[in-house]
């Protein structure tokens, strides 16, 4: 094989490997979004997800307001009616205007307080 053909073969191989790595990275990201996480929802899905998230609280209106605010920015709502915030780091790390933690959980009671634990 002459040097020009060898160089062309190496370049082609590197381009092919780069393409495979890029495609497999996108596939993993799509699977992650399929099962939840940031960017897994559309803005239209936020009210339904927040409705379930806020279904166990007595502060439904406040919970819905903050949940929808956060969902529209993060495109994610943690599963369940409380906790699981690690599923949505953006949602979990959002702060109030005063810099207090987790504006997204305002209106959701800590169920441990209700049971005396």
Global pTM reads 0.60
Instruction: Give me the pLDDT at residue 5, please.
Output: 76
Q: What is the tens place of the pLDDT at every residue in 76-110?
A: 999 999 888 889 988 888 888 888 877 787 777 65
Q: Quick one: tokens of 12? A: 């082609």
Sign of the Cα pseudo-torsion (79, 44, 69, 36, in order):
positive
Q: Residue 59 phi/psi, 5° resolution? A: -110, 55
Which residues, including other chains, have CB under 8 Å from residue 25's CB and lie 6 or more apart? Answer: none
Q: Can you tell me the distance from the alpha carbon of 90 to that of 76, in angstroms, rounded to the nearest whole number? A: 8
Q: What is the tens place of the pLDDT at every residue in 1-58?
A: 677 777 777 777 777 766 666 655 544 444 444 445 678 899 999 999 999 999 999 9
Which stretches of the chain are DSSP H helices? 3-34, 46-53, 60-74, 89-93, 111-115
Instruction: Give me the pLDDT at residue 56, please.
Output: 93
């Amino acid at each position: 094989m002459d040097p020009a053909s060898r160089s062309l073969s190496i370049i082609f191989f590197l381009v092919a490997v780069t393409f495979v790595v890029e495609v497999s990275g996108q596939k993993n990201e799509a699977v992650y979004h399929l099962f939840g996480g940031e960017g897994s929802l559309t803005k239209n899905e936020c009210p339904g997800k927040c409705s379930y998230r806020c279904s166990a609280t007595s502060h439904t209106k406040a919970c819905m307001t903050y949940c929808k605010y956060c969902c529209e920015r993060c495109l994610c709502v943690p599963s369940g009616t409380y906790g699981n915030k690690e599923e949505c780091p953006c949602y979990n790390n959002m702060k109030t205007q005063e810099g207090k933690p987790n504006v997204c959980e305002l209106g959701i009671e800590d169920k441990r307080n209700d049971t005396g634990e």
